[in-house]
Structure 1
Amino acid sequence: MNILESFKVAIASILSNKMRSFLTMLGIIIGISSVITIVSIGKGGQSAITGEFNKIGVNVLEATIDTSAQINQNDYFTMNDVKNIKSRIPEVLNAAPIFQKGGVTVKVGNETKRAVVIGTNNDYNSILSVNMLYGRFISEKDVLSGRNVVIIDDISSKSLFGYVDSTGKTIKIGERSMMVSATIVGVYKSQGGAFASSFGDRMPVILYTPITFAEKMFQDDFRINQIEILVDNAKSFESASNSINRILSSAHHNKDKYKVDNLMKQLDEVNRILNIFTMIIGAIAGISLVVGGIGVMNIMLVSVTERTREIGIRKAIGATRRDILVQFLIESVIISLIGGAIGMALGILFATIIGSFLGIAPGISFLTVLIAFLFSSAVGIFFGIYPANKASKLDPIEALRYE
């Protein structure tokens, strides 16, 4: 029997037991679709994060306090530090202090929501670009006078007011014991996109305020522990980093308590973590492929038992052990390949749907699809060898007597 005849016999056998064949393929389908979906979403997430970092630019440094060191109140950054970094280091173009406070309450009428307040200055938007939809970002005058103004994200604006453009509206912010009124001067595009929208009212309001206004609101808890710095080019990183460290250590009379890092280094670490996470989740999903392979083996063993007399007749009329082995092996591979093809189609579909929901483009690559297809073939061969070998070893006399 040649390969083409074996292929025809295998197809006929599969079609004669459609439901059983489909249930056998199901494990392969679930495994392949899960792996492709997870890997594609993982790669899409990496691309989205890289895109966000590229929007920021490669010329950004971040000064932070080393949390592994013993920190005193005097070690936290001040507005003078920001001023000195910008004025005394030639390579520095802009510098923005960052104060962040969670657990804050926002109130509009009778409605209240949780909020995170980010206090900064007018340089922030030129360093970590904020996509303004309506109004404006914090101005220099806002910072100098400590104006009670805020920038709100579009999702929270719509949730609180019923529409996105809430510029000119007033909200109350602060801790429940002491809340102050502030005017919304701008609405920005939330970075969370559709993913953030899905959380609805559970998503906290993200507010940007002049850092001087934040200092008035949270006097007891006010600490600047981060400064974002824009330098003229990437070649200036080392000299600028050394100068920033020197200025900070001198101003605070300490040593080795500050870190100045390039944000692109953080991207490498994020990508490394995402790769590990994707591989682990992909491997867990791949376990279902093993389960699917066991299903293929099981159904092929049943098929061998059901077709014992057929095998005996084939051997009696001249079929060799190799012919029987190839016939059943082809059948198991076809089942795995059909399951793999359906799994690939579903995996691409699921990745596209989930990517659309999360607001990212899934990273569906030809290599991923090819590996998944080859793996499904390997599953068919590996788990089909034992049943095929068992069928090929059947004694024709005993097979013909089988009832």
Structure 2
Amino acid sequence: MNIKENFKMAIDSIFANKMRSFLTMLGIIIGIAAVIAILAVGNGATSEITGTFDDLGASTISVTLSEEATSQDAFTDEDIKALKAAIPAITHISPDKTIGASVESEFDKRTALALSGTPDMQYTNQTMDSSLVYGRYFNQTDYQDAKNVAVVSEDTAKALFNDRTNVVGESLQLSGDAGNSIRLQIVGVVKGTFEQLQGSFDLSQIPVYLALPLTTMEKLNSSVVTMDSLTVQVADKEAIESASNQMVRLLETRHDALGKDYYTATNFLQALDQVNSVLSLFVNFIAAVAAIALLVGGIGVMNIMLVSVTERTREIGTRKALGATTGTILMQFLMEAVILSLIGGIIGLILGILLANGIAGALNIVPSVTLSAIVLVLVFSTAVGVFFGIYPARKAAKLDPIEALRYE
């Protein structure tokens, strides 16, 4: 008997007992659907996070000062100039200081996050957008002369100036925790970031953002402007490791701190690798748990196939009496088990994709179903059919034809 005839007999047997066949496949369907949905949503979440890191700047390095270091080891303007001059890969570098404050216009008063640094902060700052909508960013002259200037986001402008966004030339009063305050003139407005939060958050409760020179911030509170962190952007991702190592070595040399581990350079690629590792571990663990359903499904296939062998004992005896070989009987029942598993795998694959799209839609991410995952599902389904179908098939093939014909 050839493969075509075995296939036809297997299909006839499956459709002769539709409900039993469906219940046999149910474990495989659930297992495959769960695994596919988890992998698709997990891969989609990973891609989303990777994209977020790219948006933040995958070529960004954070250089920090350890707690063991003293104020003498803090970064200086001379350090920044030396780093930029010695390492060509560096495109932008700025201290990163943020304080909580309150800011007041003639129209309103709001809680604020005041960000300060050098003019390069326009590109290194990950909190405010770098795209100017109106005016300019504060420049080197503003920084050197500690001018009372500030750049605000469109959201801040709307919140403080009755929904107006072009507020260049307007003034703000910035007050710190110690009660000190300074009057700032707005010289630029950058693109806002709060629009996407509408409907989910009360925007009146979210702090507004403004950026000003670090030297100007010192007028408000001199104790907060010690440079203990730098944000650095390099030309491309390929230069990130080399630039990180060079910066640490140069800073240790300048501050006579060789071997003291006072300076640490961390880049977003390292953070991304850590996030991806954790995500992959979590997704694979959940997928492994879901795969237990496949084991249950495989046992169900074996169980039903054993029942089928028992029910068809006389049929097997008749076929063997008419000349069917042991190999023919083996292939017949093995193919039936494989087809059951494969059909269950295909149904599970379809349901898994639908489930993944539903979950991903709720989470506002794009699911990722790879070709390798689809191939793996089909191969695994076939393997389940072979593994759990081999014992019932062998039992059917080894039946003695005379005893089988006597079976009632």
TM-score under structure 1 normalisation? 0.72
Indicate the residue corresponding to 1:92 in structure 2.
90
Query: In the aligned structure 2, how far is the partner of 1:174 from the partner of 1:313?
Result: 97
User: CA offset at residue 378 of structure 1?
Assistant: 0.3
Query: In the aligned structure 2, how far is the partner of 1:138 from the partner of 1:18?
Result: 73
- Check conservation: 1:56, 1:128, Cα contact below 8 A: no
Give the secondary-structure state (helix, strand or coil) at the position aligned to 2:369.
coil
User: CA offset at residue 259 of structure 1?
Assistant: 2.0
CA gap 1:74/1:326 in 2 versus in 1, 3 angstroms: same
Indicate the residue corresponding to 2:254 in structure 1.
250
TM-score under structure 2 normalisation? 0.71
Query: In the aligned structure 2, how far is the partner of 1:389 from the partner of 1:105?
Result: 80
Is 1:126 aligned with 2:123? yes
User: CA offset at residue 385 of structure 1?
Assistant: 0.8
1:318-359 CA distances to partner (integer Å, 9 max, x unpaired)?
Answer: 333222221211111111111111122223333344444444
Query: In the aligned structure 2, how far is the partner of 1:25 from the partner of 1:119?
Result: 62
Q: What pairs up with 1:161-200 in 2 under 5 angstroms?
A: 188-189=192-193
Is 1:139 aligned with 2:142? no
Indicate the residue corresponding to 1:226 in structure 2.
229
User: CA offset at residue 365 of structure 1?
Assistant: 2.2
Deviates most, 389-398 or 142-151: 142-151
Aligned sequence identity (%)? 40
Give the secondary-structure state (helix, strand or coil) at the position aligned to 1:93.
strand
CA gap 1:97/1:341 in 2 versus in 1, 3 angstroms: same
- Check conservation: 1:134, 1:165, Cα contact below 8 A: no
1:14-48 CA distances to partner (integer Å, 9 max, x unpaired)?
Answer: 11222222222122122222222333334334444
The residue type equivalent to 1:399 in the other structure is A
Query: In the aligned structure 2, how far is the partner of 1:137 from the partner of 1:337?
Result: 64
CA gap 1:53/1:205 in 2 versus in 1, 3 angstroms: same
- Check conservation: 2:117, 2:213, Cα contact below 8 A: yes
- Check conservation: 2:244, 2:266, Cα contact below 8 A: no
The residue type equivalent to 2:262 in the other structure is K
- Equivalent residue in structure 1 for 2:349, among 344, 351, 354: 344
User: CA offset at residue 380 of structure 1?
Assistant: 0.6
Query: In the aligned structure 2, how far is the partner of 1:37 from the partner of 1:188?
Result: 35
Query: In the aligned structure 2, how far is the partner of 1:295 from the partner of 1:172?
Result: 73
Q: What pairs up with 1:372-383 in 2 under 5 angstroms?
A: 372-383=377-388
1:139-183 CA distances to partner (integer Å, 9 max, x unpaired)?
Answer: 327975566875488xx999x99xx99887x99999999999999
Give the secondary-structure state (helix, strand or coil) at the position aligned to 2:96.
strand
Query: In the aligned structure 2, how far is the partner of 1:353 from the partner of 1:135?
Result: 38
Query: In the aligned structure 2, how far is the partner of 1:179 from the partner of 1:307?
Result: 92
- Check conservation: 1:65, 1:226, Cα contact below 8 A: yes
The residue type equivalent to 1:369 in the other structure is I
Indicate the residue corresponding to 2:326 in structure 1.
321
Query: In the aligned structure 2, how far is the partner of 1:295 from the partner of 1:101?
Result: 63
Indicate the residue corresponding to 2:340 in structure 1.
335
CA RMSD of aligned residues (A): 5.0
Query: In the aligned structure 2, how far is the partner of 1:137 from the partner of 1:52?
Result: 28
CA gap 1:98/1:243 in 2 versus in 1, 3 angstroms: closer
Query: In the aligned structure 2, how far is the partner of 1:34 from the partner of 1:137?
Result: 53
CA gap 1:157/1:30 in 2 versus in 1, 3 angstroms: farther
Deviates most, 245-254 or 14-23: 245-254
- Structure 1 unaligned residues grouped into runs of 5+: 107-111
- Check conservation: 1:79, 1:97, Cα contact below 8 A: no
Indicate the residue corresponding to 1:399 in structure 2.
404
Query: In the aligned structure 1, how far is the partner of 2:399 from the partner of 2:180?
Result: 85
Query: In the aligned structure 2, how far is the partner of 1:174 from the partner of 1:346?
Result: 57
The residue type equivalent to 2:37 in the other structure is T
Indicate the residue corresponding to 1:109 in structure 2.
none
